[in-house]
Structure 1
Amino acid sequence: MEQFIQDWGYIALFLYSFGGGFLALAIAGAFSYAGDLNIYITVIVAGVSNFIGSQFLFYFAKYNKSYMDETVNKHRRKVAMVKTMLKKYGSFMIFIQKYIYGVKTLVPLVMGISAYNPFKYTVLNAIASAIWAIVIGYISFTAGKLLLSFADDFKYVGFFTVLLVLGILVYSFKDKKKVKKQ
């Protein structure tokens, strides 16, 4: 398992961080504490991936406005909330959105649709992505001992939980077959 993490950990981190998620960075930080990954490479990979992902969303919205108008209409309430937050916090919202689930994808899209300066967005996004990676990476690296001891203590509980869930699923599937036959 350790070799698998060392071989594929950075690739998985890059792909997950591209979408803005920080769970992979938190896990990679804990693995860095254990010595399976390098914390500096972990922070760099997550920061670069997050930057590229946000840039992609910004420019996708900027150059595909007709498609984005259709998409945004499906999420009017969330977009209205993001626009309100952008009016209230301005450019600082680029920094805030990195930490808020459900908003981190919409902010670059809404800013891309608007007349926001692409150069200014790129610079602020680079800084925000670096800060995000450093903060989450450092916290997870520091909490690595706690996270790994928690995982060690409950690995058998998790195994038995999976077995229990599978047993319940198999049992309920058999009951459905019996009901259909009657």
Structure 2
Amino acid sequence: MEQFIQDWGYIALFLYSFGGGFLALAIAGAFSYAGDLNIYICVAVAGVSNFIGSQFLFYMGKYNKAYVEDMMKNHTKKIALVKVLLKKYGIFIVFIQKYIYGVKTLIPLVMGVSEYNPYKFMILNIMASILWACVIGYISFVAGEFLMSLADKFQYMGLIIVFVIIFFLISNFNKKRKKAKNSEV
């Protein structure tokens, strides 16, 4: 398992951080504490990936407005929240959004659609991505001992949790499918 983590850990971290998630960086920080990964490389990989992902979303909003606006029609409440946050916090929202689940992907999209200056966004995004990676990486590295002790205590609990999650996903999918089938009739 350690060799698998060493071989694929940075790639998994890059892919997960591209979408803005910090769970992979937290896990990588714990693995760094255990000696399986290098914390400096983890912070660099996560920061670069997060920066690229946010830039991708910004430019998708900038150059594919029709598609993004059509996609965002399903998220009107979140879009309204994003606009309020942008007005209230200004440029600091680029820093804050990295930590808010549910809006961290919408903020770069909305800023891209709203004709925000791309160079200004890039500079803010670089700084925010570096700060985000350093903060989450440091906290998870420092908390590594605690996280590893939990993993030792509950090593079989993970399998139970996975099975419970799969059960709920399947039952939820079946409920939605039955509901859609009944609404068609």
- Class of the TM-score when normalised by the shorter of the 2 chains: 0.7 to 0.9
Quickly say closer, same or farther: Cα 1:164–1:66, change in 2 above 3 A: closer
The CA distance in 2 between the partners of 1:163 and 1:134, in whole Å, is: 30
SS at match of 1:75: helix
| Greater shift in the superposed pair: 150-159 or 135-144 | 150-159
Unaligned 5+ runs, structure 2: 169-185
Match of 1:8 in 2: 8
Q: Which amino acid aligns with 1:102?
A: G
Match of 2:110 in 1: 110
The CA distance in 2 between the partners of 1:110 and 1:158, in whole Å, is: 37
Match of 1:25 in 2: 25
Larger radius of gyration: 1
Structure 1 segments of 4+ aligned residues over 2 angstroms from their partners? 156-159, 161-165
* Paired-residue identity, %: 71
Residue pairs, 1:30-179, within 5 angstroms: 30-159=30-159, 161=160
TM-superposed deviation, 1:110: 0.3
| Greater shift in the superposed pair: 17-26 or 68-77 | 68-77
Unaligned 5+ runs, structure 1: 170-182
SS at match of 2:127: helix
Q: Which amino acid aligns with 2:150?
A: F
Q: May I ask how many residue pairs the two structures share in their alignment?
A: 167
Aligned-pair Cα RMSD in Å? 1.9
TM-superposed deviation, 1:157: 3.7
| TM-score when normalising by structure 2 | 0.86
Quickly say closer, same or farther: Cα 1:117–1:149, change in 2 above 3 A: same
TM-superposed deviation, 1:156: 3.1
